[in-house]
């Protein structure tokens, strides 16, 4: 095999596929990036058997072939090469030479035939949305997946397609995030649970351009994201996701309209008095036109008032401030609406059409008053 491509194209391709290289594995071949120049395109592939990524890069194929190279070494070498054309050549002995200007590396590779190719997915259905929308949907929901492996379903996100609407939902036992997107085409109803790790990596690769589209196809076991000459294939999480609709209520006794930036900044200031790992709640006292926020810790206390538009009853309620901050940071509107029932019932932050819904459970704050 002998190929020539620019350092910029090679570095971009290696960076994309490296997201699927496992940090620990008993199979050394999975620690490699496959360079495949057997056809008319140069393809780079990495695969950890749960998540696989393949991308095409521009370049010239002088001699066809393929080789698998240790991803860590390859990535570091490419990153530190001069900004010029790179030649990669391998012979029958698997010795691989990388040359850029006066820099020359000789490293051993592994047979490309031993590499675990991406599974061939018989696509049952597919949807298409813009890169911008998918990136936003992931950003607005991914923070509330659970970071524990004790419940596999909580480490993924629900992709529910119903009546040409895609709803993405995540939960961790203390909060729920949901986001809806209208689809252009009619497609059969479907529920999938996509690993959070997959969505995180897809989000990092997406350019986020509104004009560029992502084709998402799926079966009962796999989901495939195709965009910008890149294919991401992931296993789905097995099992039936939690019944989100039963947890989301439209009942409320207190409705609060508030400036999002002021609310977020106030909570952010309050957390200055809370050490990391210290679970001090922020107490919110809702009156007629004023919301009072206060927090008390070993460092000190803080009290601040914000003007609000309130309907319904006064209410005193406590929350984990981090959960409020996480939700408010991903809402792009100037004002947000809070729907509350009582001090022990969930708070809902949502828009009128319920394009987004954030459910946050309150905390016991008796000791904090």
30-48 tens-digit pLDDT: 999 999 999 999 999 999 9
One-character DSSP codes across 99-163: EETTEEEEEE-EEGGGS-PPPPP---EEEEEEHHHHHHHHHTTGGGS---SSSGGGGEEEEEEET
Is it the case that residue 368 has pLDDT exceeding 50?
no
Identify whether the C-beta of residue 3 lies closer than 8 Å to the C-beta of residue 60. Answer: yes
- Domains of the chain listed by start with CATH number: 2-114 (3.10.150.10), 125-245 (3.10.150.10), 248-368 (3.10.150.10)
Is it the case that residue 367 has pLDDT exceeding 70?
no
Separation CA 253–CA 315 (nearest Å): 9
Segment 4-11 shows an average pLDDT of 98
Is it the case that residue 169 has pLDDT exceeding 60?
yes
Q: Which pLDDT score is estimated for 334?
A: 95
Q: Which pLDDT score is estimated for 150?
A: 77
Q: What percent of the chain has pLDDT over 70?
A: 99
pTM summary value: 0.93
Is it the case that residue 366 has pLDDT exceeding 80?
no
Is it the case that residue 87 has pLDDT exceeding 90?
yes
Least confident span in 89-98, 166-175, 230-239, 256-265: 89-98
Segment 259-268 shows an average pLDDT of 96
Segment 178-204 shows an average pLDDT of 96
Q: Which pLDDT score is estimated for 369?
A: 46
Least confident span in 74-88, 262-276, 304-318: 262-276
**Regarding predicted confidence, which is higher, 2 or 369?**
2
Identify whether the C-beta of residue 212 lies closer than 8 Å to the C-beta of residue 130. Answer: yes
Confidence of residue 133 (pLDDT cuts 50, 70, 90): very high
**Regarding predicted confidence, which is higher, 276 or 332?**
332
Least confident span in 19-23, 237-241, 284-288, 364-368: 364-368
């Amino acid at each position: 095999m002998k190929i020539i491509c620019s350092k910029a194209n090679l570095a971009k391709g290696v960076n994309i596929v490296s997201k699927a290289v496992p940090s620990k594995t008993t199979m050394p071949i999975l620690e490699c990036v496959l360079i495949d120049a057997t056809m008319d395109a140069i393809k780079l592939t990495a695969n950890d058997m749960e998540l696989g990524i393949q991308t095409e890069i521009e370049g010239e194929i002088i001699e066809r072939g393929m080789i698998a190279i240790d991803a860590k070494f390859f990535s570091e070498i490419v990153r530190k090469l001069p900004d010029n054309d790179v030649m990669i050549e391998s012979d029958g002995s698997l010795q691989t030479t990388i040359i850029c200007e006066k820099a020359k590396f000789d490293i051993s590779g592994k047979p490309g035939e031993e590499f675990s190719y991406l599974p061939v997915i018989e696509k049952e259905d597919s949807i298409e949305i813009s890169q911008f929308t998918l990136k936003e949907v992931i950003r607005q929901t991914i923070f509330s997946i659970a970071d524990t492996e004790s419940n596999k379903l909580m480490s993924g996100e629900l992709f529910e397609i119903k009546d040409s609407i895609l709803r993405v939902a995540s939960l961790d036992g203390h909060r729920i995030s949901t986001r809806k997107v209208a689809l252009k085409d009619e497609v059969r109803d479907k529920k999938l649970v996509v690993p959070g790790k997959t969505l995180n990596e897809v989000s990092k690769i997406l350019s986020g351009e509104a004009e560029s589209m992502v084709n998402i196809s799926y079966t009962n076991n796999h989901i495939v994201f195709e965009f910008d000459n890149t294919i991401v294939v992931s296993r789905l999480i097995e099992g039936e996701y939690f019944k989100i609709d039963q947890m989301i209520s439209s009942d409320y006794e207190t409705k609060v309209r508030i400036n999002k930036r002021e609310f977020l900044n106030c909570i952010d200031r309050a957390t200055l008095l809370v050490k990391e790992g210290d679970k001090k709640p922020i107490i919110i006292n809702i009156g007629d036109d004023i919301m009072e926020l206060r927090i008390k810790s070993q460092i000190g206390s803080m009290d601040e008032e914000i003007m609000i538009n309130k309907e319904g009853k006064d209410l005193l309620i406590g929350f984990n401030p981090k959960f409020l901050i996480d939700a408010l940071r991903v809402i792009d509107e100037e004002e947000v609406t809070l729907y509350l029932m009582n001090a022990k019932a969930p708070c809902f932050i949502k828009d009128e059409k319920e394009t987004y819904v954030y459910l946050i459970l309150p905390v016991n704050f008796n000791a904090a008053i």
